[in-house]
Amino acid sequence: MNFRSDLAIENYEFTQKKELRGVKVEELNSEGCAVSRIEVLDEYGAEAVGKPKGLYVTVEVAPFAKQPHFIDGSLQVLIDEMKNMLPKKGSVLVAGLGNTSITPDALGPKCASMIFATRHIKGELLKSTGFESLRRVSAFSTGVLGNTGAEAGELIKGAVDVIKPDFVITVDALAARSVHRLGNTVQMCNSGIVPGAGVGNARQEISARTLGIPVYAIGVPTVVDAATLIYEYSEADEGVPDAATRMMVTPREIDLMIERAAKTVSLAINCALQPDISPEDMLILIA
Amino acid sequence: MNFRSDLAIENYEFTQKKELRGVKVEELNSEGCAVSRIEVLDEYGAEAVGKPKGLYVTVEVAPFAKQPHFIDGSLQVLIDEMKNMLPKKGSVLVAGLGNTSITPDALGPKCASMIFATRHIKGELLKSTGFESLRRVSAFSTGVLGNTGAEAGELIKGAVDVIKPDFVITVDALAARSVHRLGNTVQMCNSGIVPGAGVGNARQEISARTLGIPVYAIGVPTVVDAATLIYEYSEADEGVPDAATRMMVTPREIDLMIERAAKTVSLAINCALQPDISPEDMLILIA
Amino acid sequence: MNFRSDLAIENYEFTQKKELRGVKVEELNSEGCAVSRIEVLDEYGAEAVGKPKGLYVTVEVAPFAKQPHFIDGSLQVLIDEMKNMLPKKGSVLVAGLGNTSITPDALGPKCASMIFATRHIKGELLKSTGFESLRRVSAFSTGVLGNTGAEAGELIKGAVDVIKPDFVITVDALAARSVHRLGNTVQMCNSGIVPGAGVGNARQEISARTLGIPVYAIGVPTVVDAATLIYEYSEADEGVPDAATRMMVTPREIDLMIERAAKTVSLAINCALQPDISPEDMLILIA
Amino acid sequence: MNFRSDLAIENYEFTQKKELRGVKVEELNSEGCAVSRIEVLDEYGAEAVGKPKGLYVTVEVAPFAKQPHFIDGSLQVLIDEMKNMLPKKGSVLVAGLGNTSITPDALGPKCASMIFATRHIKGELLKSTGFESLRRVSAFSTGVLGNTGAEAGELIKGAVDVIKPDFVITVDALAARSVHRLGNTVQMCNSGIVPGAGVGNARQEISARTLGIPVYAIGVPTVVDAATLIYEYSEADEGVPDAATRMMVTPREIDLMIERAAKTVSLAINCALQPDISPEDMLILIA
């Protein structure tokens, strides 16, 4: 596979086959958003799609950078798909992956900073606020190996050991193959994540296998590798210059796009986790 | 004690006694910097100074906001005092405490982001760079309870369990009693920290008692509580308005001061931990 | 006058007189917000209140830092008072004053960056968007003398000469006498501004006298001088330490407060200038 | 010309001709940096190179993102070439062009904020600091049309009318054709600038013709248009997707690159304008 993509849907489409052994695909339209559900059933499917066994749901939303309303149809589809995938009960740790100093990689930390953390809210306060039923949520950002000296997976493991959540959600910026996917796509899966895989810098896997509890990974494609872009359009393997491999392709409005994507995705996670709170009220709780 | 201070030296001075049972004080001048070493020897001393048993070293440096050179006499005094206090060998985890969204509280996270993390640098790379003797360092920021739902101490505990450092250094912004202490003072101690104690919002203790390994706490006073300021000058307990208790006093140049303090303190820590690397080279490694 | 304040209402209250020669005061309650209108009628009034002839309207709003809804009763009162004061027609240049690198002084530049600039939108585009009636608005930030080498007033004069607006609105952070005024007050006046007056660093006047067109000044108090705070509570002139004069008092949540105040004030200005656009739509146009 | 480039050297190289009528080219190596001087002599040359008459000097420096030392051989070459081109005497206004909210476009404003402004320093202060001979410098950022409603050129014209400098320097981020040029190239010219020309969004010319005084333009290429990248490698005009035209190609480390480039370029300008101050001292004056 010459094209790097963190998106299961792109890897599936790249095969240009309608049917793949070990892969079940469902495509539908929900409130104007294209939703695809790709289920990788076994090792055959895993090899075909380049992803471990699990369910990969992709939602195409209105472009983040052109979406000043956070509360619209796209948001509700995101909330619904997250509710479908995530456990209905149990406490959760949300971990933001990525580098705050690299704009297109800052999605994870920005999201984590907008998660409605509730684990520390005591019972009495809960009652007084009328929020008796709040799910216990905690959130943090892992930083990146070059700055911390620790794998994101290690710091999550440590946090899990102490906080003892029932499951983990990771949030990360992803690499796509096609520029058409940038800033209008959210992928969620139940098989965890290998951070950096899409930019050729794979880090320690973060999954049920490594943490011992379910790991859901939510991501938004924010970059295309420059070499991938060239390769896709030139149809020539050789012409790709070495310098291009250190380049990334992003929308011009990447700074705005990241802001909006982080706000939308964190809002969707917050609402999926606390279904008794409306998006409008959640925006105020987090603001 | 009506005046809140995170500085042992201020609590000592506030007693206006030359000698205190259970407290040993040494004051000296090192390369133009006033250095004080207050040793709290027992429970009598702990009560008198409002700090647990341990050694508290305060270095008065040139004002951070007026100190564009990072490499000067003050830096060397800081490095020397840190070297004196910290273990000569062993791996370390540096934890930045505080809130990146509140300027005077952002010292810890900013410092942590400038720590020279080495734990992930493999042996062969080390040899090739001529850095065979690098001490293993990792670093991360804990965030704050309201945003993460987890105590700083919990996240440090989790990281310690996985990373297994020999000791921990915390970095935090402190509250002083006197505005004269703002932006020109560094306190380091070997007894850990109770974050937020100086602003009346005490959090979980972070110490050898809670982590099982030595904890060194390094801090810079960046705010005075407004009520403390009023109380100090009005000498009247009653007049302090409620609104003032939600106010803080900072230098006008607080944004610049925090930038510079974070750079200086992180540079001092980096150099104290890696004595074979000069401050000049360290600046380049971190830049 | 020993207390520095940029607020006419505070200077008036400080006199502790119900009636002042040359000053007309009206106080009312509008949709839950206290509104005061102080008219300085002549030189007697100007001396009594420490402000040039003109109308000074103060609106007490819900605390910015606790106001996640931008669109509420406070906003409408701000819009209404601005509409009352500003010319009903004519083009305008909005100038943000202050220093983006000093958090409590960044209100002006942040506001200016959220002004809905329309001067460059061509007639055809206007028609296609249904906005035929848009008032012509331009906006910029002046920076500060120490960084630019030019007075804010000079750069505004230059911009006015080229852009030729019918009037100017300045936006600036103000200094208050009382901490109770911080983060919940907006002052607007029709007599221009002497930037920095409230922090003892008066700059060139920006007014109809210097620009030749009307100048409206809108501001939010964000700091109290530390010396003022001490003086107010200690009732002693002498005790104020020199160091305190370089300190400022701000709410702990100053960073958040500035964000919200800038968003609210810019939204109010935008809506007052373009009455055909609802606040909801304006939020989207600016987002 | 299908390739958009703001760099005269790239347009020249694209012709693949050694000699061009109306163009004089000099290439040399200065302290390890490749320096090219392209002189556009007449209208023939202007058409061939796609640039107005004037001198275009390009300096290839060590990659900004890998250059933690600001004071090195590259800096001296930049200073020397600027000194060669700029008037030896006279006051100057430095104008930063570009959008602070778009990382690769923020070079101009960041540079402007680090210019050593001296115009406001009074004679006596100058003497007391030993800086009698300081050239009078002012600096500001123009913002962008969409946010201000005013062309950068208009705001510069206004500032020039009031400040009356002897010449203007603009600083802007540029678009290159080749990714090899990103982050290691500085172009300076004496013919002014048409901002945005390289990204297909040409704005009002800023030149001696429009301002009445000499205009020197200094820029650093920070992006390649995605369509240009594809076109260059695919050698096919048609295949370029519409979406790609809204994409840009940048180095992964673009945030760091912009920080460093702004610091280096502003330092070079400061030193070229004030030759009596060493780079080391200038760094301190600006810090």
Q: pLDDT tens for residues D90-123?
A: 999 999 999 999 999 999 999 999 999 999 988 7
Q: Is B179 on the interface with C (CB under 8 A)?
A: yes
Q: pLDDT tens for residues B5-42?
A: 899 999 999 888 889 999 999 999 998 899 999 999 99
The larger pLDDT score, comparing residue D46 to residue D243, is at: D46
D103's tokens: 């990382």
For residue C142, give how far its alpha carbon lies from the nearest alpha carbon of chain D (Å).
Answer: 8
- Rounded to an integer, the average pLDDT of B222-226 is 92
pLDDT band at A259 (very low <50, low <70, confident <90, very high): very high
Contacts of B264 in chain D (CB under 8 A): none
Residue of A117, A120, A143 lying closest to B140 (CB–CB): A143
**A161–B138 C-beta distance less than 8 A:** no
Is pLDDT at A242 greater than 80 in this prediction? no
Per residue, the 3-state secondary structure of D36-105, as one string, reads EEEEECCHHHHHHHCCCCEEEEEEECCCHHHCCCCCCHHHHHHHHHHHHHCCCCCCEEEEECCCCCCHHH
**A161–B155 C-beta distance less than 8 A:** no
What distance lies between CA A75 and its chain's CA centroid? 15
pLDDT band at D66 (very low <50, low <70, confident <90, very high): confident
**D155–C159 C-beta distance less than 8 A:** yes
Q: pLDDT tens for residues A65-90?
A: 876 667 778 999 999 999 999 999 99
Q: Which of A131, A142, A148 should be substituted to probe chain B, the one whose Cβ sees the most B Cβ atoms within 10 Å? A: A148
pLDDT at C68: 61
B:C CB pairs within 8 Å: 92
For residue D284, give how far its alpha carbon lies from the nearest alpha carbon of chain B (Å).
Answer: 5
For residue A173, give how far its alpha carbon lies from the nearest alpha carbon of chain D (Å).
Answer: 13
Is pLDDT at B161 greater than 80 in this prediction? yes
Place of tokens 């050698």: D235
Q: How far apart are CA B21 and CA B48, in angstroms?
A: 8
Residue of B68, B283, B284 lying closest to D287 (CB–CB): B68
Are B142 and B154 contacting, i.e. CB atoms less than 8 angstroms apart? no
**C249–B179 C-beta distance less than 8 A:** no
For residue C179, give how far its alpha carbon lies from the nearest alpha carbon of chain A (Å).
Answer: 24
Q: Is D256 on the interface with B (CB under 8 A)?
A: no
Is pLDDT at B235 greater than 80 in this prediction? no
Q: How far apart are CA A140 and CA B140, in angstroms?
A: 11
For residue A258, give how far its alpha carbon lies from the nearest alpha carbon of chain C (Å).
Answer: 13
For residue B273, give how far its alpha carbon lies from the nearest alpha carbon of chain D (Å).
Answer: 21
State chain D's maximal CA–CA distance in angstroms. Answer: 66
By C-alpha distance, the chain C residue nearest D122 is C149
Contacts of D68 in chain B (CB under 8 A): 283-285, 287
State the pairing for strand pair B137-141/B92-96.
parallel
Query: What whole-number percentage of chain A has pLDDT above 70?
Result: 93
Are D254 and A103 contacting, i.e. CB atoms less than 8 angstroms apart? yes
Residue of C120, C147, C161 lying closest to D161 (CB–CB): C161
Contacts of residue A109, defined as CB under 8 A and 6 or more positions apart, other chains included, come to A96, A97, A98, A99, A100, A141
pLDDT at B1: 42
Q: How far apart are CA C100 and CA C259, in angstroms?
A: 12
Is pLDDT at B97 greater than 70 in this prediction? yes
CA distances from D195 to A23, B156, B254, D69 (A): 51, 50, 36, 30
For each of chain C's 287 residues, which pLDDT tens digit applies? 456 789 999 999 988 888 999 999 999 999 889 999 999 999 999 999 999 999 999 999 988 887 666 777 899 999 999 999 999 999 999 999 999 999 999 999 999 999 999 999 887 777 776 777 889 999 999 999 999 999 999 999 999 999 999 999 999 999 999 999 999 999 999 999 998 776 677 888 999 999 999 999 999 999 998 888 887 777 655 556 677 778 999 999 999 999 999 999 999 999 999 999 999 888 878 87
| Residue D199: other Cβ atoms inside 10 A | 20
Is pLDDT at A200 greater than 80 in this prediction? no
Contacts of C229 in chain B (CB under 8 A): 226, 229-230, 244, 249
Residue of A136, A148, A163 lying closest to B139 (CB–CB): A148
State the pairing for strand pair B92-96/B167-176.
parallel
Query: What whole-number percentage of chain A has pLDDT above 90?
Result: 71
Q: How far apart are CA B77 and CA B174, in angstroms?
A: 20
pLDDT at C1: 43
- Rounded to an integer, the average pLDDT of A248-254 is 92
Contacts of A241 in chain D (CB under 8 A): 179-180, 233
Place of tokens 């301190």: D284
Q: pLDDT tens for residues D147-171?
A: 999 999 999 999 999 999 999 999 9
**C101–B255 C-beta distance less than 8 A:** yes
Place of tokens 């678009």: D175
Is pLDDT at A153 greater than 80 in this prediction? yes
Q: Where are the beta strands (DSSP E) in chain C?
A: 23-30, 33-40, 54-60, 92-96, 137-141, 167-176, 185-189, 215-225, 247-251
Contacts of residue D179, defined as CB under 8 A and 6 or more positions apart, other chains included, come to A226, A241, A243, A244, A247, D224, D229, D249, D251
pLDDT at C227: 84
Q: pLDDT tens for residues A46-69?
A: 999 999 999 999 999 988 887 666
**A146–B143 C-beta distance less than 8 A:** no
Residue of C180, C230, C243 lying closest to B230 (CB–CB): C230
**C230–B226 C-beta distance less than 8 A:** no
Angle between helices B152-163 and A152-163 (to 10 degrees): 120
Nearest to B115 by CA among B136, B142, B137, B97: B137
The larger pLDDT score, comparing residue A140 to residue B129, is at: A140
Q: pLDDT tens for residues B169-184?
A: 999 999 999 999 999 9
Q: Is D91 on the interface with A (CB under 8 A)?
A: no
Residue of A179, A182, A243 lying closest to D180 (CB–CB): A243
CA distances from B198 to A71, A130, B137, D139 (A): 41, 32, 29, 42
Query: Looking at the DSSP assignment, which residues form a beta bridge with residue A185?
Result: A60
For residue A246, give how far its alpha carbon lies from the nearest alpha carbon of chain D (Å).
Answer: 6
pLDDT at C238: 59
Nearest to D223 by CA among D174, D172, D171: D174
Question: Neighbours of B (≥3 Cβ pairs closer than 8 A)?
Answer: A, C, D
pLDDT band at B158 (very low <50, low <70, confident <90, very high): very high
Q: pLDDT tens for residues D5-41?
A: 899 999 999 888 889 999 999 999 998 899 999 999 9
C90's tokens: 């004519």
Q: Is B25 on the interface with D (CB under 8 A)?
A: no
pLDDT at B118: 94
**D145–C120 C-beta distance less than 8 A:** yes
For residue C244, give how far its alpha carbon lies from the nearest alpha carbon of chain B (Å).
Answer: 7
Nearest to C23 by CA among C41, C1, C2, C4: C41
Nearest to C201 by CA among A210, B118, A4, D120: D120
Helix (H, G, I), strand (E, B) or coil at C63: coil
Is pLDDT at B239 greater than 80 in this prediction? no
- Amino acid found at C257: M
DSSP readout, chain A? --S--S-HHHHHHHTT-S-BTTEEEEEEEETTEEEEEEEE-SHHHHHHHTS-SEEEEEEE-S-GGG---SSSHHHHHHHHHHHHHS-SSS-EEEEE-S-TTSGGG-HHHHHHHTS---TT--HHHHHHHT-TTPPPEEEEE---HHHHSS-HHHHHHHHHHHH--SEEEEEEEEEESSGGGTTSEEEEESS-B-TTGGGT-----BSHHHHSS-EEEEEEEEEEEHHHHHHHHH--STT--GGGGGEEEEETTHHHHHHHHHHHHHHHHHHHH-TTS-HHHHHHHH-
Is pLDDT at A132 greater than 80 in this prediction? no
Q: Is A255 on the interface with D (CB under 8 A)?
A: yes
Q: Which of B66, B69, B72 should be substituted to probe chain D, the one whose Cβ sees the most D Cβ atoms within 10 Å? A: B69
**A246–D251 C-beta distance less than 8 A:** yes
Q: Is D125 on the interface with A (CB under 8 A)?
A: no
Mean predicted lDDT score pLDDT of chain A: 90
Are C95 and C151 contacting, i.e. CB atoms less than 8 angstroms apart? no
D72's tokens: 């090195």
Radius of gyration for the alpha carbons in chain A, expressed in angstroms and rounded: 19
Q: Is C150 on the interface with D (CB under 8 A)?
A: yes
CA distances from A286 to A219, A270, B280, D127 (A): 20, 9, 43, 54
Helix (H, G, I), strand (E, B) or coil at B185: strand
